[in-house]
Chain A
Amino acid sequence: MLLPMIVALAALNIVVFQQQNTPAEILTANFIYLTYFLIYFEFFSMMCRGFSFHIIKLVSDQAPIQENEVMKLYGEGMGAAGMMKKRLESMAKGGLVRIEGDKVIAQGWKSKLIAFVARAYKSLIKMGWEG
């Protein structure tokens, strides 16, 4: 997704430079583009990973369905247990953790930084977890 975003941003800047816009107008165009990109990115993430969305789709496909069946069939059959596994695997792919047997181990400075920023931010605004 990053590559199309950069290509479109470059195309946008070529167009606004050619039209001899002022620096303020060029900056405004870039800000608006990035705002829409982030909104689109969020929408796309929800399509890919939205928890509620996929429960609704699953119930619509299989209705009437029992709650325990929803858990088993979630994520094209990966189920509730597979959800945690998938998340840990994507964290391992991102270099934040490594999985050794049944242990998850944090690794690298990125994981330290994320944990530190998250704790500081949450304590600053007194935020609880609602995942």
Chain B
Amino acid sequence: MAQGICVGVAAVLVFLTLHLILWRTLRRPFGEFKILLVLAAGGAVGIYFFKNSGERELPLALYGLAIVMYFHLYVGMQRSLSIRVMEELSTNPNRSIAVPELAARYSPQAMFSTRIAWLIKGGWLQLNSQNALVCTGKAERLAKVLRIFHALYNLRQTG
């Protein structure tokens, strides 16, 4: 069992080291989340070939859990507005900031425009002849799934 844990931990350390080297050396990694996924999959494949059949489950399960936790951390650090606000507050005198100033720096309007542009580029939304937004086929299917889950979980105010 100890050996299995060591292999799992070693795979996580290799993953983190490669991740650190790549992110510090590549200027702006293209499709960085995809690179992270490939690195993570590489670690799992490494464990599969390193360990004998029947001894793979524990290191693979440990590695899988660590990777999922790390992905949570990575996405949270990259996208969380709350974390960004905490950083902003910690650098300001008295650790405070006026709400209008905060709203100006992290303008929700700009966030909407950026996200809508990204959704149009990704083929989820499109502009009709009146320059209004409509969903594409795949977005309509996704919206149906969302409605089902919102009804299932009884989620009223979301977003």
Q: List 26 A-B contacts (CB under 8 A).
A: A22-B1, A27-B62, A28-B58, A32-B65, A38-B69, A42-B72, A44-B153, A52-B118, A55-B125, A56-B139, A57-B146, A59-B133, A59-B135, A63-B133, A67-B112, A67-B133, A75-B157, A78-B159, A103-B99, A106-B86, A106-B96, A112-B90, A115-B86, A121-B77, A127-B78, A131-B79
**From residue B157, how far is it (CB to closest CB) to chain A in Å?**
5
**From residue B109, how far is it (CB to closest CB) to chain A in Å?**
5
Contact size range, B = 35 or more
A24 interface residue, CB < 8 Å from B? yes
Q: How far is the CA of A47 from the CA of B143 in the complex (A)?
A: 11
Q: How far is the CA of A128 from the CA of B95 in the complex (A)?
A: 22
Which residues in B have their C-beta under 8 angstroms from that of A9? Answer: none
Identify A52's interface contact among B86, B87, B96, B119, CB under 8 A: B119
Which residues in B have their C-beta under 8 angstroms from that of A5? Answer: none
On whether the beta carbons of B133 and A70 are closer than 8 Å, the reply is yes
B37 interface residue, CB < 8 Å from A? no
Q: How far is the CA of A74 from the CA of B159 in the complex (A)?
A: 7
Which residues in A have their C-beta under 8 angstroms from that of B34? Answer: none
On whether the beta carbons of B102 and A104 are closer than 8 Å, the reply is yes
Residues of chain A touching chain B, judged by Cβ–Cβ distance below 8 Å, are: 22-25, 27-28, 31-32, 34-35, 38-39, 42, 44, 47-57, 59-61, 63-67, 70-71, 74-76, 78, 80-81, 83-84, 87-88, 90-91, 96-97, 99, 102-107, 111-112, 114-116, 118-119, 121-122, 124-131
On whether the beta carbons of B79 and A130 are closer than 8 Å, the reply is yes
Residues of chain B touching chain A, judged by Cβ–Cβ distance below 8 Å, are: 1, 4-5, 19-20, 23-24, 57-58, 61-62, 64-65, 68-69, 72-73, 77-87, 89-90, 94-100, 102-103, 106, 108-109, 111-113, 115-116, 118-119, 124-125, 128, 130-135, 139-140, 142-143, 146-147, 149-150, 153, 155-159
Beyond A28-B61, A38-B68, A88-B85, whether A103 also contacts B90 by CB under 8 A is no
Q: CB-nearest residue of chain A relative to B2?
A: A24
